[in-house]
């Protein structure tokens, strides 16, 4: 009878250790997995003064972004998402101030539109508000 009790006790300890490990593993995966659909490369094609241009925005998992016009970088900064709202800042528009935008994902999360909620930066508003961006690739 003593053997059975000791055996059950060891089995229960193993079970608890395994359960704890599984919970920790799933928690780590949940916090490190990429659940931010904004992460990746997004492109807008337009024209200014009769000349075509491409605006490329790259949003990274680490909360940074870069903006390019016709493959030339013109802005870098930081952003973060809360549900469907993006808070974005960059040095050209005072990096201590966040512009706030609603992000509307369309289709199969392969295109998006930014809708200004509050932003005093004219250049950022004009370069994002209401424009349709298409997803190019995913960046890790």
SS3 state of residue 30? helix
Look up the CATH architecture of domain 40-135. Beta Barrel (2.40)
Characterize the bridge pairing of strands 51-59 and 111-118: unpaired
Averaged confidence pLDDT in the chain = 81
Using CA atoms, how far apart are residues 45 and 51, in angstroms rounded to an integer? 11
Q: Provide the residue ranges of all domains of the chain, joining segments of one domain with +.
A: 1-33, 40-135
Using CA atoms, how far apart are residues 77 and 95, in angstroms rounded to an integer? 7
pLDDT of amino acid 2 = 54
Nearest to 129 by CA among 97, 96, 92, 86: 86
- Are the beta carbons of 101 and 121 closer than 8 angstroms? no
Residue-wise pLDDT for 127-137, tens only, equals: 899 999 999 96
Percent of the chain with pLDDT over 70: 73
pLDDT of amino acid 95 = 84
């Amino acid at each position: 009878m003593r053997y059975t009790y000791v055996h059950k006790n060891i089995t229960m300890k193993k079970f608890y250790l395994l359960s704890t490990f599984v919970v920790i593993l799933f928690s780590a995966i949940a916090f490190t997995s990429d659940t931010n659909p904004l992460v990746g490369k997004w492109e807008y094609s337009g024209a200014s003064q009769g000349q075509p241009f491409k605006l490329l925005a790259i949003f990274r998992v680490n909360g940074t972004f870069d903006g390019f016009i016709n493959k030339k970088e013109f802005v870098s900064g930081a952003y973060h998402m809360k549900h469907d709202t993006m808070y974005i800042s960059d040095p050209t528009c005072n990096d201590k101030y966040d512009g706030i935008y609603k992000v509307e994902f369309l289709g199969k999360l392969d295109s998006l539109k930014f809708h200004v909620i509050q932003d005093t930066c004219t250049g950022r508003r004009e370069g994002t508000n209401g424009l349709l961006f298409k997803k190019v690739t995913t960046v890790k």
